[in-house]
Amino acid sequence: MKRAVYVAAAGVIMTSIAAYAADGVGVYVNGRLIPQTGYLEDGTTYVPLRAVSEALGAEVEWDGENAHVTMNEDTLVADIASDISESVVAIVGNYRGAGSNTASEYNESTAHGTGVVIKSNGIILTNAHVVEDIENITVIFNDGTSCGAYVQYIDEDADLATVKISRLGLKPVVFAAEGSARSGNTVIAVGTPLSLNMRNSITKGIISGIDVSVNGAMYPLIQTDAAINSGNSGGPLVNLKGEVVGINSSKYAGLGVEGMAFSIPVETIDYVLAQFEKNGKVMRPDIGVSFDESWEARIGLPTSKGITVKNSQSDNLKNGDIVTSVNGVAVHSIVDYNKAIRDTFTGELSVTYTRNGQETTESVEYELK
């Protein structure tokens, strides 16, 4: 006698297929429609335990009357990697001035990196440093097909760019919700390390830290111990839901340094892409000053100190003023300042600063650049 175990669905996205009828209710798990349908009873949707568990990468074994559900991470990671590989590409081009050879010849004057499809009409996201110094760009898909591309938008400060190809019907990646990445989450990195014959290589690790400040980075980054090498730049960092939590961008390398890679988080990606779409570039408010950080901020110690104004061309702020918040957000480092503007600027810029022991909050003048 066949037995079916049904559980009230939780943590999955439900959607009806047409009207409720004999066809039942379609169930999506992490964005994928599972083969089995559920049913509605007293306002609750019930779905087969085995179908949901296996869709999440679990193994289900029967022991007489009972079902034992065991999560198999190997299967889950392999399924996620297989699914997202369709949306991950290698990007290759000639260094500017290296000659007239096309990128598709892959000679010694070429450079390569990775990108992810973000729109089905041929828009691909990558790092700015992958494409800023190359021409004759070619995008190579996981199945080996290739297509010429050009840089659409680029922002060196955030290290993000989009390239465009003439191809429709592509499969875009799904981005995780802002703020959903947590230290300790398992993630996988997908990219093209070292050589083009290593396209869509997979490495696995965890998120080691979030909101990490790195020298030279304008905004906070995600730190991960997933192995990233030259050529991985521009590729996705993916959670176990198959969602992109970041774009891999850099790593620390050197004697005694291991597992120190960094990714641009969704918060910065969303901000930059919205600016690209609205303005064709990222427009940032320039208040006509530069800043010095406290020695604590420079070495990464927690501090309540603000940032000190220098080289001021502002009518509001003078050299030596200490800025402590922007639009109500406390700032203790230059990265904090940039992040506050990223997250709060909508046309007004209110700055709290201390001058000669007196704290003042006022709107400051700025120029969009």
pLDDT value at residue 7: 36
Which of 87, 129, 201, 336 is catalytic? The answer is 129
Q: Is 83 a catalytic residue?
A: no
Beta-bridged to residue 175, according to DSSP, are 244
For 310-339, the pLDDT digits (tens) are 999 999 999 999 999 999 999 999 999 999
The values of phi and psi at residue 277, to 5°, are -70, -35
Q: How far is CA 258 from the centre of its chain?
A: 22
What is the pLDDT, as a whole number, of residue 9?
36
Please count the CA atoms within 13 angstroms of the CA of 154 that sit on its side-chain side: 15
CATH number of 81-165, picked from 3.40.50.300, 2.40.50.140, 2.40.10.10, 3.90.226.10: 2.40.10.10
Cα–Cα distance for residue pair 97/100, rounded to 1 Å:
8
CATH fold, domain 186-279, is: Thrombin, subunit H (2.40.10)
**Start-end ranges of CATH 2.30.42.60 in the chain?**
285-368
Instruction: Give the span between the Cα atoms of 237 and 204, in whole angstroms.
Output: 9
In tens digits, the chain (369 residues) has pLDDT values of 333 433 333 333 333 333 333 356 677 765 667 777 777 777 777 777 667 666 665 565 666 666 565 556 677 888 889 999 999 999 999 888 765 555 545 555 778 899 999 999 999 999 999 999 899 999 999 999 999 999 999 999 999 999 999 999 999 999 999 999 999 999 999 999 877 777 889 999 999 999 999 888 999 999 999 998 888 999 999 998 899 999 999 876 666 666 779 999 999 999 999 999 999 999 999 999 999 999 999 998 999 999 999 999 999 999 999 999 999 999 999 999 999 999 999 999 999 999 999 999 999 999 999
CA distances from 288 to 116, 269, 335, 339, 362 (A): 36, 26, 17, 18, 15
Write down the catalytic residue from 233, 249, 250, 314: 233
CATH 3.40.630.30 assigned to domain 285-368? The reply is no
pTM confidence score: 0.80
Which residues have C-beta within 8 Å of that of residue 339, sequence separation ≥ 6? 219, 220, 329
Q: Which pLDDT does position 108 carry in this prediction? A: 58
Residue 6 has phi, psi (to 5 degrees) of -115, 140
Element (H, E) at 141: none
Q: Where in the chain is the domain with CATH 2.40.10.10?
A: 81-165, 186-279
Question: 266-279 vs 334-344: helix axis angle to the nearest 10?
Answer: 60
Residue 112: active-site member: no
Tokens 């730190």: give the residue: 223
Distances (CA, A) of 188 to 52, 174, 237: 22, 14, 6
pLDDT tens digits, one per residue of 223-248:
999 998 888 999 999 998 899 999 99
Supply the pLDDT for residue 164.
Answer: 98
149: phi then psi, degrees, rounded to nearest 5: -145, 165
Is the C-alpha dihedral spanning 65, 71, 74, 78 positive or negative?
A: positive
**Measuring CA to CA, which residue among 3, 35, 29, 1 is closest to residue 14?**
29
d(CA 182, CA 209): 8
**What is the separation, in whole angstroms, between the first and last Cα of the chain?**
71
- Sign (positive/negative) of CA torsion 313, 314, 318, 321? negative
Q: Is 332 a catalytic residue?
A: no
* Whole-number CA gyration radius for the chain: 24
Residues 268/219, Cβ–Cβ less than 8 Å = yes
Which of 159, 208, 249, 263 is labelled catalytic?
Answer: 159
| Residue in the structure block whose two tokens are 């465009």 | 164
- As a whole number of angstroms, the distance between CA 128 and CA 212 comes to 20
